[in-house]
Amino acid sequence: MKNDKIKVFLAAPRGFCAGVDRAIEIVKKSLNKYGSPVYVRHEIVHNKHVVESLKKIGAIFVEELDEIEDKTRPVIFSAHGVPKSVSENASNLKMTYVDATCPLVSKVHREAENIKKQGMHILLIGHKNHPEVIGTMGQLPKGSIDLIESAEDAHNYINISNKKLAYITQTTLSVDDTKEIIEVLKSKFPDIYEPKKEDICYATTNRQEAVKKIASKCEMFFVIGSRNSSNSVRLVEVAKKNGSKSAELIHSESEIPFSQIKNCKTIGISSGASAPEILVTEFIEELKKQFTIDIEEVEITRENITFKVPGKLN
């Protein structure tokens, strides 16, 4: 029985970004062109729902190329990007590969190469072991890039290279946390070289801004996304930091905390850049079974960016 009225603030933009759309399209078009199976190295995007739906139409997911038994089949590299050694290995194995790296991640890769050519030493602000960070660090010879994960790391960093320093960042970081790290680096190394345009992508920035706009009005905040999705986890942190009493990630194994929601008059909802809108719809449908809800979508900007798929798939 519906027993409570709840106001739902729905953040916009939310969900799929252009890089994720493109990566999923690349898998589908590769299946159309080459037939099934096609292999995908690493989750194409960090979302179980997306991965499972692509498996159903003939995609096989592996972590490394040596897991692929039939090397005559094509392999797709995920949206997060891969170290150069992976594409070199695929070429040596004479494999057909399609690179689904998000163009905004590729931009950071090119930036790293250009900075290295100018003789500078690179600091990458990002999260250790995230596939995007592994891919970016793998664009250059070992030792060319040092990872900075926190303001504390920045504060303790010693430049033993004796070269001028430059920084680049992972594309899916918290805008505010990154700003703090950059401020520490700039005060410690006043002549540090910075990217002409910041590396955190438009989609990450927009989703965080949309959450900031409504967080303080929400007693609870829910972000639909995966546990290994950096941008989804950051949205939970942003909601907490910006005034929501509690915020949590709703992933594939989550139980919806109805007993807590019952005590709320207002809740907020957003979704990470790799979460399909159907998951938001399903979450709202579950709420409707228990509560009378009034939804207000709060849109801070309209996104109309699209990225083309590689020409060889058309």
Residues acting as catalytic residues: 132
What is the CB-side half-sphere exposure of residue 206 using CA atoms within 13 A?
Answer: 21
Q: DSSP 3-state assignment of 154?
A: helix
Quick one: which of 139, 132, 138, 210 has its CA closest to 172?
132
Which letter, b or e, does each residue of 209-228 get, where b requires 16 or more Cβ atoms within 10 Å of its Cβ? ebbbbbbebbbbbbbbbbee
141 touches 78 (CB < 8 A): no
Q: Could you give the CA distance from residue 158 to residue 150 in angstroms, rounded to a whole number?
A: 14
* Helix (H) or strand (E) segment spanning residue 247: strand 246-250
Q: Could you give the CA distance from residue 127 to residue 170 in angstroms, rounded to a whole number?
A: 8
User: Which CA distances in Å does 292 have to 5, 216, 262?
Assistant: 5, 22, 11
Q: With DSSP H G I counted as helix, E B as strand and the rest as coil, what are the percentages for the chain, rounded to 5?
A: 40, 20, 40
Tell the burial category of 311 from Cβ atoms under 10 Å away from its Cβ (0-12, 13-18, 19+): exposed
